[in-house]
Amino acid sequence: KAGVTQTPRYLIKTRGQQVTLSCSPISGHRSVSWYQQTPGQGLQFLFEYFSETQRNKGNFPGRFSGRQFSNSRSEMNVSTLELGDSALYLCASSLGGRGMNTEAFFGQGTRLTVV
């Protein structure tokens, strides 16, 4: 069974640009969550998608957005990049149904560097 796949693994962008990250969850998982990991702030929750709908959102500015497709694959977009957006972005998938196992499985992350 394939794990969670994130692409690309590494990305270098310039301030002001926008970026799109992709996450393919484990087959059968309908929930995809995104986290930002930085040395100073640790792991912070960005948002969660379930069945193509954003179900939960963290405290990030509107420059951070996402979406989920009918095959459960998810994309995260960051517009008008700032130096502080440099981070490891992790995607996690889980079954996601209410009352179901809440175990989350993570991808290897996308390392974004903004210069």
Partner 1 sequence: AQTVTQSQPEMSVQEAETVTLSCTYDTSESDYYLFWYKQPPSRQMILVIRQEAYKQQNATENRFSVNFQKAAKSFSLKISDSQLGDAAMYFCAYRTPLRGNRDDKIIFGKGTRLHILP
Which residues bind to partner 1, rule: CB under 8 A?
A: 33, 35, 42-43, 45, 48, 55-56, 58, 88, 90, 92, 96-100, 102-109, 111
Block residue for tokens 């393919």:
24
Q: How many angstroms from the chain centroid is the CA of residue 65?
A: 9
Minimum distance between the CB of residue 36 and partner 1, rounded to whole angstroms?
Answer: 11
Minimum distance between the CB of residue 94 and partner 1, rounded to whole angstroms?
Answer: 9
Which residue, among 111, 113, 87, has the nearest Cα to 13 in the 3D structure? Answer: 113
**Beta carbon nearer to partner 1, 16 or 43:** 43
Query: CA torsion angle for 114, 72, 59, 55 (degrees, to 10)?
Result: 170
**Beta carbon nearer to partner 1, 28 or 42:** 42
Minimum distance between the CB of residue 38 and partner 1, rounded to whole angstroms?
Answer: 11
What the block records as the tokens of 14 is 């310039």
**Beta carbon nearer to partner 1, 48 or 85:** 48
Burial (0-12, 13-18, 19+ Cβ within 10 Å), 108? middle
Pairing of strands 110-114, 10-13: parallel
**Beta carbon nearer to partner 1, 46 or 114:** 46
Minimum distance between the CB of residue 41 and partner 1, rounded to whole angstroms?
Answer: 9
